[in-house]
Structure 1
């Protein structure tokens, strides 16, 4: 009986395994996208730092008003790009958290199903052992008693 229940759950376990694998793939994709977004943000921040260093060096030599206006305009655009990329990183981080939650949920479901199947198999094995022991006991009782 328990073995039949375990067998009937096999397709459900297979579906849960596929769902867990897909969730794991999605988690990996989200992690990769977050890594790329963080790298791009890092590049923008390094570029800003380099540009600010250039400002310090140029400022020592003296700069024109036009150069200063161009610098401020470009720095403003760069700050805007950094802000947008920071939002992108945050969005990807949230997306990763959601994907991790979905994977954990599917993994927990899969593990629960596996434990249930194992319990059914253990119950079937115990029932088989009990039946076998009962048969052996009956056979021993049927044997003629030997005088020692």
Structure 2
């Protein structure tokens, strides 16, 4: 039974390592998402400032329409990016939950093995005490028999 528990513990440790790697990957992807979102937002701000600066020197209706269309595309891109945030957040949450479940399982296997080891040590201690008691009783009987024969 202990070999089976050792095997299960090894398997759960491996699954926990994989879960940690998946969690770290999900966290990195979320951070990359936030970096990309920040870059797009900064690009939009820079573009708006450029539009204002160009507008001060005068724009034709065609130029304004073209620049405004591009700004609308940037806004749509930002909206799509912000919708993706839930996906990345849920990935992190799912990976974290999975890791916690796997870790809990590993800890239960460790607890069972520790319990078995403690039981084994208690059993050995009882056996040793029993042998000492038997030896003492035998020794006492021999000593009494030796005294009685004199």
Q: TM-score, normalised by structure 2?
A: 0.87
Report the alpha carbon displacement of residue 17 of structure 1 after superposing the two structures with TM. Answer: 1.1
Q: TM-score, normalised by structure 1?
A: 0.88
| Whole-angstrom CA distance in 1 between matches of 2:107 and 2:66 | 60
| Whole-angstrom CA distance in 2 between matches of 1:83 and 1:128 | 69
Q: Is the 8 A contact 1:6 1:121 kept in 2?
A: no
The 3-state SS of whatever aligns with 1:62 is coil
2:50 to 49, 54, 59: 54
Report the alpha carbon displacement of residue 60 of structure 1 after superposing the two structures with TM. Answer: 2.6
How many residues in Structure 1 have an aligned counterpart in Structure 2?
143
Name the residue aligned to 2:7.
11
Verify: 1:128 aligned to 2:124, yes or no.
yes
* Structure 1 gap ranges (5+): none
Verify: 1:140 aligned to 2:101, yes or no.
no
1:87 to 77, 83, 87: 83
The 3-state SS of whatever aligns with 2:62 is helix
The 3-state SS of whatever aligns with 1:67 is helix
Report the alpha carbon displacement of residue 16 of structure 1 after superposing the two structures with TM. Answer: 1.0
* Structure 2 gap ranges (5+): none
Deviation string 1:99-124 (CA, Å, 9 cap, x unpaired) is 11111111111111111111111111
| Whole-angstrom CA distance in 2 between matches of 1:60 and 1:138 | 106
Report the alpha carbon displacement of residue 29 of structure 1 after superposing the two structures with TM. Answer: 1.3
The 3-state SS of whatever aligns with 1:63 is coil
Report the RMSD for the aligned CA atoms in angstroms: 1.7
